[in-house]
Amino acid sequence: MSTNDIELIPLCNSTDLVDGGVAVAFDVVYGGQTLRAFAIRYEGRVHAYLNRCTHVAMEMDYQEGRFFDDSGQWLLCASHGAAYTPDTGECAGGPCRGGLIKVELTEQGGVVQWHTSYLLRPLEF
- The per-residue pLDDT for 4 is 59
Model pLDDT for residues 55-68, shown as the tens digit of each residue: 877 899 878 899 99
Distance CA 110, CA 37 (A): 20
Model pLDDT for residues 11-41, shown as the tens digit of each residue: 999 999 999 999 999 999 999 999 999 999 9
Alpha helices, H only, 1-125? none
Strand bridging mode 75-76 / 105-108: unpaired
pLDDT interval class at 1 (50, 70, 90): very low
Model pLDDT for residues 84-98, shown as the tens digit of each residue: 999 999 999 999 889
The answer to whether 36 and 64 have CB atoms below 8 angstroms apart is: no
Distance CA 42, CA 46 (A): 6
64: CB partners within 8 A, 6+ apart: 25
Name the residue ranges covered by the structural domains of the chain: 8-121
> Domain 8-121 class?
mainly beta
